[in-house]
Amino acid sequence: MSEKNKSGVFKSFLDYFYGNFIVLLLGFISTPLITRLMSTDEYGRTAMFQSVVSIIYICAILGLDQGYIRYFYKDGVSKKKLFYQCLYPSLVLILCLASVYFIFSNSFNYLLFERSSLDITLLVVGYVITSVFERFLFLNIRMDQRGKLYSNLNILSKVLYISFIVIFVMILGDDFRVVLYALTLPLAIVTFGLMIRFVFINRHEKVNVFKLDENGVSESELLKYSIPFIPMLLMEWLLSSMDKWSIRFFNDFSETGVYSAAMQIMTIILTVKITFVAFWSPIAMEKYENESEEKCKEFFADIFLKTQFLCMCLAFGLTICRGIIVLFLGEKYRAAIRIIPFLTLMPVLSILFEMTGQGVKFVKKIKYFNYASFAAIICNLIGNAILVPRYKGVGAALATGITYIVYFAIGTYFAKKCYPVDYKLKTFILSMIIYIGYAGYATYTDNQILSALVGVILFVVHLLINYKTISSLVSMIKGMIKKENK
């Protein structure tokens, strides 16, 4: 792959990343603000809110967001019509699900939060309905590869989030509804603005959503591709939520709050994950549709090597510095220091599977995602059942780490069968083994200084293993600098 193409992809990533990097910095304000003002019990309830709105959203979206990505670059497709084709079924279903939640709100609210009120119900319902619009409107920006706009909107959302936290803490005090308001209101404001933008930009294009022969994708073809994603997405929800539910039922809201605080620290890597997914899906699909197979595979292999190296650097850095990071959370959340090492595997392997898993999407063999997800769910259920009652949050983090290793390994195996790419996995596996050994040591040692020193030594080993990748990255960055200076 040419240096020009490499630098172009890197620049595209930076367009997406700069906004999320600022969001990350703002997170160092919002997370300590919440954890210092809110008890662990109340913070634990916010994790339940995010978990339940996620499953309602997944059931309503019907996998059509993936269909939107898959057919966006297809020749002869009206992008405006495709947008409405994906939005309408999801919107109808979300209204039905939201109505059911509203009718039985008292029972649902007491199960989830052990308390109920009209504003809690309205916040849940409002969040999930708005999230459907937000998903497709943000996807539209991503698929148009408007990285700077995407970044600016994320910054705006985070600023509004912090502002509403301050406002509602003054009104409600130590109450989990503070976070519910702070999550829902910015989502509604930004989504409303995006809807106005979308309607205005596409006002001149006339399409009939109900005519099947006008944009090259029939409803049956769209649904046939999209619906198989639902089991996979539900299983991914279980993977990301089972740890919190296990802690909630085997322990209490307080332990759930500590675990959720550790998850917030994962923002350092999750920011990279969100950014990477936002820019990678459209680029990968565009490459697959428009370039030769040989060039595509060379491109994917090269980007994977660089991405795995950077991800493992972040994992080492976060675990080495976790003793400093948790100081910002407040004394009530110090136990999060033992949860971080294995929990870090979740975002790292999620990012890398986003790359290797593209092969399944290219050939439309979504069933392979479900095989990987099913195996991971079984692993997660067994792991949480055995480890959480005894080891609480640490057990949940260990179960989650093992689960994502299984998920990545099986999913990548099937993806390579569908679309073989030489990812040079041996380099990554060696670095991963070194990190897992360090994570085990870091979890159970009480000497944080010695733990950091061991981490630095092993991080240097990781750098030596990846010296060729470092050289390639340096060359690419030098090329970008020379290009900018011309």
Task: State the SS3 of 177-202.
Answer: HHHHHHHHHHHHHHHHHHHHHHHHHC
Q: Is the model's pLDDT at 364 over the cut of 50?
A: yes
C-beta separation of 52 from 112 below 8 A: yes
Rounded to whole angstroms, the maximal C-alpha distance in the chain is 67
C-beta separation of 459 from 435 below 8 A: no
Mean pLDDT of the 245-254 span = 60
Instruction: Of 43-47, 382-386, 478-482, give the range with the top mean pLDDT.
Output: 382-386
C-beta separation of 38 from 260 below 8 A: no
pLDDT > 90 fraction of the chain, expressed in percent and rounded:
13
Summarised one tens digit per residue, pLDDT across range 322-337 is 877 777 665 666 667 7
Helix (H) or strand (E) holding 373: helix 367-418
- 338 vs 235, higher pLDDT: 338
Summarised one tens digit per residue, pLDDT across range 136-179 is 898 888 778 777 788 888 889 888 988 998 898 888 888 888 88
Q: Is the model's pLDDT at 285 over the cut of 80?
A: no
Q: Is the model's pLDDT at 115 over the cut of 90?
A: no
C-alpha 8: how far from chain center: 24
Closest CA to 135 of 346, 263, 277, 14: 277
Residue found by looking up tokens 């008292």 in the block:
106
Verdict on whether the full-model pTM lies above 0.75: no
Q: How far apart are CA 394 and CA 337, in angstroms?
A: 9
Mean pLDDT of the 65-92 span = 81
DSSP structural state of residue 291:
S
pLDDT confidence tier of residue 431, bands split at 50, 70 and 90 = very high
C-beta separation of 284 from 300 below 8 A: yes
C-beta separation of 140 from 78 below 8 A: no
Residue found by looking up tokens 């020749």 in the block:
75
pLDDT at site 275: 66
> How many residues are listed for the chain in this entry?
486
Q: Is the model's pLDDT at 241 over the cut of 90?
A: no
Mean pLDDT of the 192-210 span = 79
Mean residue pLDDT across the chain: 79
pLDDT at site 2: 47
Closest CA to 279 of 159, 369, 410, 148: 148
C-beta separation of 453 from 316 below 8 A: no
Mean pLDDT of the 120-146 span = 87
C-alpha 347: how far from chain center: 7
pLDDT at site 4: 47
- 231 vs 173, higher pLDDT: 173
Q: Which alpha helices (H) appear in 321-366, and where do they start and end? A: 322-325, 340-343, 345-356, 358-363
CA distances from 271 to 91, 205, 249 (A): 28, 35, 29
DSSP structural state of residue 336:
G
pLDDT at site 18: 65
Summarised one tens digit per residue, pLDDT across range 182-196 is 989 999 999 999 999
DSSP for 71-137, written as a single string = HTTSTT--HHHHHHHHHHHHHHHHHHHHHHHHHTHHHHHHHHHS---HHHHHHHHHHHHHHHHHHHH
pLDDT at site 435: 95
Q: How far apart are CA 82 and CA 432, in angstroms?
A: 41
Taking phi over 0 as left and psi of -120 to 50 as alpha, with beta for the rest, 218 belongs to beta
Residue found by looking up tokens 């490459």 in the block:
287
Mean pLDDT of the 15-27 span = 69
Residues 6+ apart with CB under 8 A from 415: 356, 357, 358, 359, 360, 368
pLDDT at site 1: 46
C-beta separation of 388 from 247 below 8 A: yes
C-beta separation of 6 from 474 below 8 A: no
Residue found by looking up tokens 């991405």 in the block:
307
Tally Cβ neighbours within 10 Å of residue 214: 14
Residue found by looking up tokens 């605080």 in the block:
261
pLDDT at site 323: 78
Tally Cβ neighbours within 10 Å of residue 292: 9
Tally Cβ neighbours within 10 Å of residue 54: 17
User: Worst-scoring range by mean pLDDT, 6-15, 86-95, 370-379?
Assistant: 6-15
C-alpha 406: how far from chain center: 18
Q: How far apart are CA 348 and CA 450, in angstroms?
A: 24
Cα-trace Rg, the chain = 22
- 416 vs 431, higher pLDDT: 431
pLDDT > 70 fraction of the chain, expressed in percent and rounded:
79
Residue found by looking up tokens 């565009």 in the block:
286
